[in-house]
Amino acid sequence: MSEQANWDVVIVGGGIVGAATLYKLQTRFPRLRILLVEKEKALADHQTGRNSGVIHSGIYYKPGSFKAKNCVTGRRELVAFAKDHGIKHDICGKLIVAMEKEELPRLEKIYQTGVANGIEGMERITPDQIKEIEPYCAGVAGVRVGCTGIIDFRGATEKMAAIALALNQNSKVSLGEEFLGADQTATSTVVRTSNGTYNTRYTIFCGGLQSDRLARADGARVKERIVGFRGDYYDLTEQGKHKVRHLIYPVPDPRFPFLGVHFTRMTDGSIECGPNAVFTFKREGYGKTDFDLKDTMDALSYGGTWKLFFKNMGYGIDEYRRAFSKRLFLRTLQRLVPSLTMDDIKPGRAGVRAMLLGTDGNMVDDFRIERRGNHIHVLNAPSPAATAALAIGEQIVGMAVDQLHISEVAAVN
């Protein structure tokens, strides 16, 4: 690509949100020349391709929030997209299981949240019904969510990009190209990357784990900071796979920001157990001992990180112990499936979740998308962003039309 090449839109970041934005924008405006740049050699190489592969229903999220609205809308559109384009998926349903009577009020609250969010296919179930659906699972009550499923998010991301590129042969996805900075004027921007510079009318940032850094490199003032949490998984071995049929989740503890260790049947038939949630010393580090000095200093020099640690000290210590102990991890799994043994599980992969952390030590719970001049930044897109990606992409296109006045009238020829 020659220096100072002209584009209508440059999208930075090739996860599913970036690809969905490309797909939605190119579908709405086929004549626009759009460039998507991704620093890795493949799309969906971080959060998108390393999550649990679950199509979330939207049952957990505060009614009226962007998370709730976009998850429900995005889920339905994602399932239709998968059906239309042959993406591996299965709407297999999931169980949310209360293991103790003390959890029953929380389980009922989740059910009522699902009702408020318009989640279809929900039902309360008894211990006997739990056994009918998942014979090895133990619980005092449950909620079955029939519209939850599993999907190949990498495949969905690649298909979204491929469809967009087929709509305009002048658009492009450039892999192995890192964003370095941007110089914005009133009418255009010069985007600098590891491969050169580009003139563009509009820029959209979908940076995931690097979203705060991309915003600051663009001159935006972002008080919060992204802090990464690694999630380790175990897989059920061949002798243990028969003990889980679908998806099994615990009732989440509202004191903590994650859903808890759960069981997920993947699209390839394997069964994953996890993830835990431990502070990571490298934003894109997937090994237990991975370390990056810049990432560590960024996190530990931020007051919000320490406030989070102090608020969740016991939880964090337990998570670290479990990260290095197969036996402790097994004990957590046995709360849902008591008959699991050490021989039933083996170490699996890991992922890192990007959480936008406020200065008060609280995680920013909802999606956050902001405009800066002719730029749009996706600052916070935690789970269920993969499920909601098409709805998020539609929201970004709406912002581009309403606030940036983007159109095909002045498209680059």
Predicted TM-score (pTM) of this structure: 0.94
Classify 285 as helix, strand or coil: coil
Which of 109, 130, 145 finishes a domain? Answer: 145
- What per-residue confidence (pLDDT) applies to 3? 47
Query: Distance (Å, rounded) from C-alpha 96 to C-alpha 26?
Result: 38
- What per-residue confidence (pLDDT) applies to 256? 67
**Alpha helices, DSSP H only, in 56-145?**
66-85, 104-116, 127-133
Residues 128, 158 within the same domain: no
Residues 175, 65 within the same domain: yes
- What per-residue confidence (pLDDT) applies to 219? 86
Query: Distance (Å, rounded) from C-alpha 87 to C-alpha 154?
Result: 9
Residues 319, 380 within the same domain: no
- What per-residue confidence (pLDDT) applies to 1? 40
Residues 162, 304 within the same domain: no
Domain of 400: which CATH number?
3.50.50.60
- What per-residue confidence (pLDDT) applies to 409? 60
DSSP 8-state symbol, 363: B
Residues 19, 153 within the same domain: yes
Burial string for 246-277 (b: 16+ CB within 10 Å, else e) reads: bbbbbbbeeeebbbbbbbbbbbeeebbbbbbb
Residues 320, 270 within the same domain: yes
Could you tell me the residue range of the domain that residue 131 belongs to?
A: 94-145
Residues 183, 130 within the same domain: no
Residue 389 CB partners (closer than 8 Å, separation 6+)? 16, 17, 19, 20, 74, 78
Residues 30, 116 within the same domain: no
Residues 188, 297 within the same domain: no
* Alpha-carbon separation of residue 371 from 19, 123, 146, 375 (angstroms): 19, 40, 37, 6
* Alpha-carbon separation of residue 62 from 68, 74, 277, 365 (angstroms): 6, 16, 22, 9
- What per-residue confidence (pLDDT) applies to 408? 75
Residue 354 and residue 13 in contact, taking contact as beta carbons nearer than 8 Å: no
- What per-residue confidence (pLDDT) applies to 360? 95
Number of domain units in the chain: 3
- What's the longest Cα–Cα distance across the chain? 67
Average pLDDT for consecutive 10-residue bins of the chain (413 residues)?
74 98 98 97 96 95 95 98 98 97 97 97 97 96 98 98 97 96 91 95 96 92 93 96 96 77 94 93 94 96 94 85 91 96 96 94 93 95 96 97 82 56
Domain of 340: which CATH number?
3.30.9
Residues 185, 251 within the same domain: no
Residue 73 CB partners (closer than 8 Å, separation 6+)? 388, 391
Residues 75, 124 within the same domain: no
Residues 354, 405 within the same domain: no
Classify 404 as helix, strand or coil: coil
What is the distance between the terminal CA atoms of the chain, rounded to a whole angstrom? Answer: 16
Which of 345, 363, 381 finishes a domain? Answer: 363
Backbone angles phi, psi at 387, to 5 degrees: -60, -40
- What per-residue confidence (pLDDT) applies to 102? 96
Which of 363, 382, 397 finishes a domain? Answer: 363
